[in-house]
Amino acid sequence: MSAVQGLRARLARTPMSIIVMGSLLIAFVVVAVFAPLLAPFDPSRQSLILRLRPPGSASPQGVTYLLGTDDLGRDLLSRVIYGARASMFVAVASVFVSLLIGSALGMLAGWRRGWVEIVIMRFVDVMLSIPAILLAVLAVAVAGPGFQTLILVLGLTRWPRYARVAYAQTLQVATLPYIRAAELAGASATRLLLRHVLPNIAGPLLVVATAEFGLMILFEAGLSFLGLGIQPPTPSWGTIMSAGRQYIERAWWLTVFPGGCLFLLVLSVNVLGDWVRDRLDPRARTRG
C-alpha cells in the first residue's frame, strides 16, 4: 500500500469533526507563521481620519479594509492576523516551559522518593491551591508586563499538572522489570529517566499539554484584555477586544472578529485534545 493510500485510509476512519478542526488549527498555524506575507497592511500604521470604519470600507488608495479599522484607524484584518502570531507564540512557549519544569520535577519525585518526593509533591499541592490566573496577575503586575515575563509567568504557574502526571506515571514505570534491568546494567539515573522512563510517560504528558495549550491561549488573551499581557501597540486578540469593550455601541467588529478567532482556535485545540486523549485513555472517553 502506498503512503498516499495509507493516508487516505486513515482519513476515512477519522471523524469529520476532527478533520474540520484539524484543518482549522493548521490554518491558524499557517496564518501565524506567514503573518507578514498575509497581512494587507502594516498592523501598526495609524490613520486618524479612518477611525472605526466598518468592515468593507475602502481606503483612500482604493484598498478595502475587509474587517474594518480600529479606534486608531489601523486595519483590523492585519491586526487579527498578527494577533494569531502573538497568541500562538505565547501559548507554545509557555506550554514548553511548564512541560519542561513539571515533567522534570515530577519524574524526580517519582524516582528518588523519600524527602525529595515529599517536598516536591507538597509544593505541587500548594501551587494548585492558588488559582493560576490570580497568581499570574500578581506576578505580572509585580514584574511588569512584557512578552518574556508573560511566558515565564504562565510557564511557572502552570507546571504542577504535568508534575502530578509525571510523578504518578514514573511511580508505575519505575517498578517494571526492564527499568530494573537497565539499572543493574549500570545506567545512570539521568540516562534511565531520559531514555527509558520519559518515552514511556510521554503520552499522558502530551494529553496534559494539549489541554493546557487551549488554557494558555485563553490566559494570554485574558491577561492582555486586562492590560497585563501583551502591551500595545503589539497586536493581540485580547488587547484589540479590550479596546472593543470601550466602543461596544459603535464598533461590534472590534469584538466579534478577534473574539471569533480566539473561540475557533481554542475550540479546535480542545476538540483535537479530547480526541487524542480518548485514543490514549479509553476510560476518560467523552464520546460514547
Partner 1 sequence: MPRYLVSRLLQAILTTFGVMTIVFFVMRLSGDPVLLLVPEGATREHIDALRRELGFDQPIWRQYLTFLAGLLRFELGVSVVQRVPAWDILASRIPYTLALAGAALVVAIGLGVPAGVIMAVWRGRWFERPIAAIVVAGQSMPTFLTGILMIMLFAVTLRWLPSSGVDGPQSVIMPAIALGMLSMSTFARMARIAVVDELGKDYVRAGLARGLSPGKVVARHVLRNASIPVVTIAALEIGNLLAGAIIVETVFAWPGIGQLAIQAIQSRDFLVVQAIVLFVSLVYVVVNLAADLLYAGIDPRIRFGRS
Question: Where along the sequence are the contacts to partner 1 (CB under 8 A)?
Answer: 122-123, 125-127, 129-135, 137-139, 141-144, 214, 218, 221-222, 225-228, 241, 244-245, 248-249, 252, 255-256, 259, 262-263, 266-267, 269-271, 274, 284, 286-288
Cβ closer to partner 1: 176 or 248?
Answer: 248
| 81 vs 226: CA distance, rounded Å | 21
- H helix count then E strand count, the chain: 13, 2
Q: Which three cell numbers stand for residue 221?
A: 488573551
CB of 77 to partner 1, least distance (A): 19
Residue 119: how many other CB atoms lie within 10 Å: 12
Calculate the CA dihedral of residues 112, 116, 122, 128 and round it to 10 degrees: -70
Cβ closer to partner 1: 75 or 274?
Answer: 274
Q: Which amino acid is at 213?
A: F
Cβ closer to partner 1: 185 or 287?
Answer: 287
Residue 120's Cβ-side half-sphere holds a number of Cα atoms within 13 Å equal to: 26
Q: Please provide residue 64's backbone torsions phi and psi, each rounded to the nearest 5 degrees.
A: -85, 135
CB of 106 to partner 1, least distance (A): 18
DSSP summary character for residue 50: G
Cβ closer to partner 1: 89 or 123?
Answer: 123
CB of 89 to partner 1, least distance (A): 18
CB of 32 to partner 1, least distance (A): 18
Cβ closer to partner 1: 50 or 87?
Answer: 87
CB of 183 to partner 1, least distance (A): 31
